[in-house]
Structure 1
Amino acid sequence: MHSPATPEANARWSELLSALAERSAQMADEFIERVAGIREYGTGLVAAEDVRATAAHTFSLLVSALRAGGTTDDGPLAYARELGARRARSGIPPSSLTSAVRLDFSIIWSHLLELAAEGDAALLASRVESVWHVVDAYAAETHTSYLAERVRMAQEESSVQREFVAQLFGPESLSPDSLTRIGAALRVDPSASFVVAAGSGAAGAVIRALGGGVPGRVRVHVYEAGSAVYGFWQEPRSGSPVPAGLARVPCGLVRGVSGLAGLRASAAVAAALADEANDDDAGPLELEAAWHRVARRLLEDSGISLAALLDRSLEACRDSERERLEETARTFIANGSVTETAAALYCHRNTILNRLARFHELTGVDLSVPQQAARVLVAWA
């Protein structure tokens, strides 16, 4: 029996480690057999030659660290950092990497048990913590390096994707080949149907937060210009085309965008709709429901105020009459039917006809003519 703290015990431990070092290749073979049970290793994400060479070198470094006194010098840790980065680039999931590295301790310990004599029990018991410390430090460094590399890769991918997204919103027209490359980089079909949203302030913050999407859900790509934030995503084949987080946000939205090539023009429409959104809106504004708001603003920007012209035409009315005429006009414009308007306002059909005639007399607008009714719709947007 070897006492753990005696010179004889240290000498015996050195003998065991020397014998263990000669088994590096054998331990690597055992590692290959056992790691094949981890799916990502067994399906060839990492070449078998790479796995074996890495295992043999790892066992050699770990035994050297044990012979140096049970601490990991920079040799094993430097190799652990390199290994973690390589496995991150090869696409091995973190759980699979952890499972693989954990094999090191059990393999080393099983071979030490094979090499040990009957009188080495106390010696092994005293050294198990040292062996675990060496392997655990190596595993921790591998895992840390892996995570750091994954972060770096994600940042690099994000940077590249931002560059491609900026090209989609840039002033230059893109060739079909360019659109194909951008689609591949963004992982979307360049000819698919897309949805684009725009907003600023609180709405912009929501769109920005959707950037990247959630695994298993819609992936939203984000572009920012000035105070405006744009988000676009490939329109899903089923279900709601709007991510749940955006469903109640007043912003501009355009659906059915034809391919990546149509994003820039549709984004301008979404931005115009976003400018008209307000807190009273229960969700995104689309062109079909809010085109008249956009039209009113564009006309007013040009110095044309249809609302002011309409107000002057109705100034001669008493307040009560004006209220009834406006209510009737709005309802009729919404449904286009005298009968439905009468039912909605609880009036006789002739009453509605009389009010529409009076509105025509005062404003010169015949609401039964769509082109003229559109003027009122825009004025009262």
Structure 2
Amino acid sequence: MHSFHSPGDSRRWAELVELLHGRTDSLAEVFAARVREIPEYADTQLGPGDLAETARETFSRLVDGLRSRKQHLRPGDEAGAEPEMESLLGFAAGLGAKRARAGIPPEALISAVRLDFSIIWECLLQIADAGDAALLASRVDRVWRVVDEFATRTHTSYLTERVRMAQEESSIRREFIARLFNQSSPSADTVNQVAAALGIDPAARFGLVAASGPAAAALRRAAAPGSGPQHRSRFFVHEFGGNTYLFWPLPQPRPGSRPTVPAALAGVACGYVPEAAGLRALPAAARTAETLASLLQGTDAGPLSAHEAWTRLAKQQLTDAGLDLPADLDAALAVCRSGERERLEETVRHFLQTGSVTATAERLFCHRNTILNRIGRFQDLTGLDLAVPAQAARVVVAWA
């Protein structure tokens, strides 16, 4: 029986490897021609000189790796590798990182690396004699393993570099976003720098939401890439002072249309500014959204805008200014007899919702004269005529 590992076979294999080593230039030429057929490689900024030089270096080191007596090496075993394999894997790590920085798509990288085995094997078949068939059959596993180790390390390094680049890009974006939000009125230079860093139009319209606590965590989840089939918007995140802010560019409006809440945010209780005109308006919009978030109530199950919460917002602003409208009403209604205040408040609230005595009477199953009497009684006690919009607004805000 013929031994695949006889001294004669080893010597002949060494001869074939040396012949192969002398053809690294032609191997690189074949590789460069084939890799240019991969569309993603053809469209990159890699110059022909860079591609050819890298291919020559790759095949030189791969052929060196075929001299190695160790046929398999796991990641992290470089310390115990023979010099040829150690050098090959070190080169593979650098190549993977380099291709990641060049913007080569992962599928294109894998397609290119897979060419190595077929090109080397084709060349071996060309330089081998007819009597080398059994020898080649015994060495095919070695050739495959060397190329596979190289491909695996290249791909692993590529992915690691892509992660590092993404983290670096995210960090840079966060820095620019923080610079924007830290200015109450950002300068034109700041706005343009942020727009360039984020790749957006500085004059675009933006939606913005703000939340803290569990709702803030929900916002961050909604902003995560690929958070569901409804994830259509490109969210940007800013964290400050325990609050999370999310903003996103709005699509071009259709005539008569109004901005809508992205589906990913529909169930998150947060302060909401539907539209801010340009990046420069975002800091002010963030303050508004933060204030709206502070006015959220337990019954709120989604984003709260000033359109829905203007009465709460006005009440808060007036209270902060020292004008306590609820206290004034409480004092005026304190003289009511037992049960009278509840009837008056119920009637006034319904009337303020509809502006109609008839509709209020129907809702409360009362005669319209009863409604008129209660509204008159309320006016006597408070001095507020609900038929006068400015006076009615005081009650609407006080009872927000």
Q: If the TM-score is normalised by the length of the shorter chain, which range does it land in? A: over 0.9
8 Å CA contact retained: 2:329, 2:382? yes
Partner of 1:68 in structure 2?
68
> What CA RMSD, in Å, does the superposition of the two structures yield over aligned residues?
2.1
Q: Which runs of 5+ in 1 are unaligned?
A: none
8 Å CA contact retained: 1:247, 1:284? yes
Partner of 2:120 in structure 1?
108
Partner of 1:205 in structure 2?
217
Give the aligned length: 381
What SS does structure 2 have at the residue aligned with 1:222?
strand
- CA distances 1:258-293 after superposition (whole Å, capped 9, x unpaired): 100001111111011000112311211100111221
Q: Report the Cα offset of residue 343 of structure 1.
A: 3.8
Of 351, 354, 363 in structure 2, the residue corresponding to residue 332 of structure 1 is 351
* TM norm structure 1: 0.93
- CA distances 1:317-363 after superposition (whole Å, capped 9, x unpaired): 23433222212211222233334333443444433322221211111
Of 146, 161, 166 in structure 1, the residue corresponding to residue 158 of structure 2 is 146
Structure 1 stretches of 4+ moved >4 Å: none
CA distance in 1, matches of 2:175, 2:264: 25
Of 99, 102, 107 in structure 2, the residue corresponding to residue 95 of structure 1 is 107
Matched, 1:265 2:284: yes
CA distance in 2, matches of 1:25, 1:2: 35
8 Å CA contact retained: 1:206, 1:245? no
8 Å CA contact retained: 1:87, 1:146? yes
What SS does structure 1 have at the residue aligned with 2:246?
strand
8 Å CA contact retained: 2:184, 2:283? no
CA distance in 2, matches of 1:213, 1:65: 41
8 Å CA contact retained: 1:45, 1:92? no
Which residues in structure 2 correspond to 1:1-381 (within 5 Å)? 3-69=3-69, 73-171=85-183, 173-211=185-223, 213-214=225-226, 217-237=232-252, 241-381=260-400
Q: Report the Cα offset of residue 84 of structure 1.
A: 0.7
CA distance in 2, matches of 1:360, 1:67: 102
2:62 is aligned with what amino acid?
Answer: L
Q: Report the Cα offset of residue 203 of structure 1.
A: 1.0
CA distance in 1, matches of 2:185, 2:291: 21
CA distance in 1, matches of 2:11, 2:338: 109
Q: Which runs of 5+ in 2 are unaligned?
A: 72-83
1:226 is aligned with what amino acid?
Answer: G
- CA distances 1:11-67 after superposition (whole Å, capped 9, x unpaired): 110111111112212111221222223221122342232222211110111001112
What SS does structure 1 have at the residue aligned with 2:304?
coil
1:77 is aligned with what amino acid?
Answer: L
8 Å CA contact retained: 2:179, 2:190? no
After superposing the two structures, state which structure 1 stretch, 280-289 or 40-49, moved more. 40-49
Q: CA 1:78/1:349 → structure 2, altered by over 3 Å: closer, same or farther?
A: same
8 Å CA contact retained: 2:185, 2:283? no
Q: Report the Cα offset of residue 158 of structure 1.
A: 0.9
After superposing the two structures, state which structure 1 stretch, 89-98 or 169-178, moved more. 169-178
- Taking only the aligned residue pairs, the percentage that are identical comes to 52
1:79 is aligned with what amino acid?
Answer: F
After superposing the two structures, state which structure 1 stretch, 347-356 or 123-132, moved more. 347-356
CA distance in 2, matches of 1:120, 1:233: 65
After superposing the two structures, state which structure 1 stretch, 208-217 or 31-40, moved more. 208-217
* TM norm structure 2: 0.89
8 Å CA contact retained: 2:208, 2:274? yes
After superposing the two structures, state which structure 1 stretch, 9-18 or 239-248, moved more. 239-248
8 Å CA contact retained: 1:257, 1:263? yes
CA distance in 1, matches of 2:274, 2:32: 52
What SS does structure 2 have at the residue aligned with 1:91?
coil
